[in-house]
Chain A
Amino acid sequence: MRKRKFAVLRLLIASEEMDAVCRALKQYGFRPQFDTETPTSAYHGMEKKSGGDSPYTHTLSHLRFVLDVAGKPLPEADIHAALPEDWHEKAEALYKTCRTLQKEKTQLQEQEDACRQGQKKLELFGDLTVDMQDIAECTFIRVRFGHMPAESYERMRALYADNPYVEFFPSFSDGGEIFGMYFAPRDMAQRIDAIFASLLFESLAIPSLSGNTAEIGTEFERSLHILETELSDVEQRLERFFAKEEETVRALYAALAGAESLFALKAYATCCKGSYILTGLLPEERLRELYAVLENSKQVYVIRKGCVKQRFATA
């Protein structure tokens, strides 16, 4: 990559002109650098490299969230845009409304996912004509839902045919895998579980609802229908919100991003008796334009300290 020529500038700026000068510097591609030559002790008042945390960062992240939910790209920073007095309140109100709607949508989506997962699992045990609630409440037996390889099922039938406690009730077969359940008396559960474990049985947690599998399936359908209606309602409210507020959000974001970039530039300045000292690099070819803009500023002094050649990316 070709090296570019940069002028090394040192500016002394009166505080009342700081904003305007920073805008001009940004516009002409000024790259600030920390002033290592000026001793801090030479100044009273503010410390060098001051600036602290940006007051805009938090609000910007909130607006970014809103735009992200809307699926819109982030607007460019606008350093010339005027920031309204109540920018913080406005941005927070937009964020709160959006977050509430988004939270509601996420919760409904999670419920819908859980319902669908439950439905899928239930399909595997669809042929069982037993009441799930009754099974879960059994006092003397434990029930295990799960699956085992078809080979193991055959082996179980051959080896444990005479053991009344080792009985598997298949409900669904998926090629080499058989889904179903077995029962074990509570006092023998450990032994029976060990037998099934050696047969490579793996248990599955299934939804705890009352009724048999067909009834639970109907219940899932009903719940899914309600959830879908609620979800579409929330989505419509979100759409209306974005249709109404999108322009405001974008304008506010652009202005705040611009303000933050100016704030970041100011953070490089050293404060000295109501004035600021700012050091940095400016592309050589834009120096004349900057001088022309700053000509009208009475309280800005520019010292050119030489020039350097740097690659653009590292300047």
Chain B
Amino acid sequence: MPFAATEWLGFLLQKISVLQHAPSQHLPARPGDPTPTSRNLDPLMHPFARARERMRALNAAKMERMFAKPFVAALEGHVDAVETMARKPATLDVAASGSWDGGLIVHDISRRSQLLSVEQAHKGKITGICFADADRLLSCGVDRNVKLWDTRSVPEEDERGAGPSSPLSIYPGKSAFNSIDHHRSDPLFATASNLVQIWDETKSAAVSNLTFPTSTETISAVRFNLSEPSVLASIGSDRTFTLYDIRTGKAERRVIMQMRSNSLAWSPTFPTTVLLASEDHNLYTFDIRSLNTPTQIYKAHVAAVMSCDWSPTGTEFVSGGWDRTVRIWKEGVGTAPEVYHTKRMQRVMSTLYTADARYVLSGSDDGNVRIWKAHSSDKLGVITARERAAIEYRDALKDKWKMDAEVGKVSRSRHIPKPVYKAAQLKRTMLDAQRVKEERRRKHTRAGENKPKAEKKKVVIAEQS
């Protein structure tokens, strides 16, 4: 029998096992080592996973709003409103600005200093600035001159005290200029006055004049396409948007819109996309392949939009308006942009994205150039990999839970100045009333006679070619 008993016990030994955790697996091997972690992704091991994730998303949204301090600095120096700005190609931190009093300043954004300052670059206001290449700057003004400046020259006063430097060359024109843009590769530039003129840097008179037949308008802005450098777009006082080709030397197509545009920008990544900042408080993107409707309407400003500029990534753009706000939009998202404002910032006449897409510059009526973060809650400075991972996780959470009422409300709501808020409210009421009126009118006319028209179809009045 004892033999049987031991056999039975041996049998049992094989069949019973009790759970035990080996401490050597779960404790650090040596002092100072990281403690090993183990994961079990069974959903039963994680009760309330969704509720907790939602709380995390809510906290992430609140943290984003808490750390949203977009204003970085104000660059002083101009006496009057900053009308125009341009960034230096192939640099992250150099931008030039020109103001109504004829002052021209080249800013170093990172040091917040001035690389070049010309007090009376033009008589009257400077209307356009662009870099010809890395070191030369073109400016035009209402004094009917285009001037070419060397930005390398260290500002030194000569014996007459006549200011830091004089232009490399002056190109006299026949009428006041409104805008200037340089060709991407060739030594050509285009100016806008009552017609679009193409200039060669080496010649003192315009090479060619481009104008749409039967046009008698004043051109307010002209821009070269960034990928197809011989294509040119302009906007004019006749509520027009015109496309030119300098190879054929003709205006190719013209679009007449409901209201005039104030600013124009080509997308850096989608060569056929152009952005227009309109007087009717909206921005429009057009695909130039089909100009009869805009691809998207961007509605949030409560006054005329004065300026716009694309981010170098082409996914975002910035706009500045007569309503004293700067707004940052996502391409293709027509509402609820990020909105920046300060107490002292007046009408925003010019806006600019920096080349690293991290900052936005705004030049306003009060003569300051302000530096803003492009993403208001971005952390400046070095970010460790762990912190970066946490930030990305928080962003993903916010995106995942944006439809939740509480999370969405926190991340959507912005404090805006009372006049802007009231104006938006009033505008909404008026537009609603208009729509209701139209609807009532339609209800009392014969069916089918007065069909509702999509907002996008109302923008363009006529397309001419």
**Chain A complexes with chain B:** no
Binding site for A on B (CB under 8 A): none
